[in-house]
Chains A and B, each alone.
Chain A
Amino acid sequence: MAKFTKKKDGDLPAVSTASLPDIVFMLLFFFMTVTTMKDSSLMVENTLPNASEVKKLEKKDRVIYIYVGVPTQEYQKVFGSEPKIQLNDKFANVDEVGTFILAERAKKPQELQNVLTTALKVDKNANMGLITDIKQELRKVNALKVNYTTYEGDAFNNLQ
């Protein structure tokens, strides 16, 4: 009787998948740290202009966003094709900007209330009249720090 049974040919050892969870967890943690939650879905066209002399908008918790642009296809039937303001998840008029800013400011912790920045995410084809009105509203509620959010790039591309 043969003591040593010969292994069958072509029987590959199974690849150990024991470390797979670790790899996937590593990926998971990577994505959890470098990304941020989407806050609201866009209801307006939002092709930002380009600028080269930009600064990073750090510390997301100190930022209030205002979106401006032409409503997207599905909303155009109801809201027309003129540029509109989007605050959180709904369209708004210019005179609602002030109350929106005050409401958002009240939601933030006390120590941040004086250092808030308003990020204006405005489509590059919007007209300046609306922006001027928004800025006037911001001045009324004393939200003076604004950030014209842009893409980083050559500003030559803005006029197409």
Chain B
Amino acid sequence: MRRTRENPEVHAGSMADIAFLLLIFFLVTTTIQTDVGLDRKLPPDVEDHINIHERNILRISLNRNDELMVENEVLTIGQLKLVAMKFLDNGGESVNERYCDYCQGNRNPTSSDNPQEAIISFSSDRSASYGMYVRVQDELAKSYHELRNREAQRLFGQDYVDMEKRYYAPETSDEVKRELKSRIESVREMFPMNISEAELNVSSKNQTP
């Protein structure tokens, strides 16, 4: 009896069906990730008393009707960015080592001393909407980014936002990352993001006896 030397062929016709089945399963159970957002750091839960000059605080409050008040003046959301930038970039300190040599503000002695000490205090009413809250946060982030971009352009010839984007990109090599990190940190130090949102009772030096 003659035996065929050929191996019997595996029937691959249903392979496509199996693959389709898997494909459809993954299409149904997964989503393309699109999560973006605003990163913030909450203050630690400790009661500490800080003494800050009132001039170093920019008070922003949001009422129940989503209206904005900045330093006892009603503002529209569109104006907020410029007001915040003016406050941060003021550089009112005149002499000594805390003088801000890169600030381009109008050196108003009744506004913030230097960007390191400037604090934006943002309080919102319990009935204010979250959408408005995020908008205010976004506007504040814009003013910080604009100032940081300006300094990064001056020092390193590129935008701060671009540096950050490249730092977080997975394809950037470690060497480049290390350099970017030090640059990003130095720019951050020039304009640190001090947004306080707690219902903090910042007791100002002017009021305490």
Contacts and interface: CB of A to CB of B under 8 A. Distances in A.
Interface of A: 17-18, 20-21, 24-25, 27-28, 31-32, 34-38, 49-58, 60, 63, 68, 117, 119, 122-129, 131-132, 135, 138-140, 142, 144-152, 155-156, 158-159
Nearest to B30: A35
A148 B18 CA distance: 41
B168 A18 contact: no
Interface string B119-135: 00000111111111111
A150 B16 contact: no
Contacts of B33: 35-36, 60
A49 B124 contact: no
6 contacts: A21-B18, A35-B30, A125-B130, A126-B130, A131-B130, A158-B132
Closest 3 CB pairs of A and B: A129-B126, A124-B131, A158-B131
Contacts of B16: 17, 20-21, 24
B37 A119 contact: yes
B142 interface: yes
Contacts of B27: 31
Interface stretch (B41-49, B88-96, B105-113): B41-49
B39 interface: yes
Contacts of A57: 35-37
B31 interface: yes
B54 interface: no
Contacts of A131: 130, 133
B26 A32 contact: yes
B130 A54 contact: no
B12 to A, nearest CB: 7
Interface residues of B, number: 52
A149 B145 contact: no
A35 B32 contact: yes
Given A51-B38, A54-B36, A128 B133 contact: yes
A155 B139 contact: yes
Nearest to A20: B16
Nearest to A38: B31
Contacts of B50: none
Nearest to B20: A24
B3 interface: no
B42 A139 contact: yes
Contacts of A25: 19
Contacts of A145: 39, 41-42
Contacts of B142: 52-53
B43 A55 contact: no
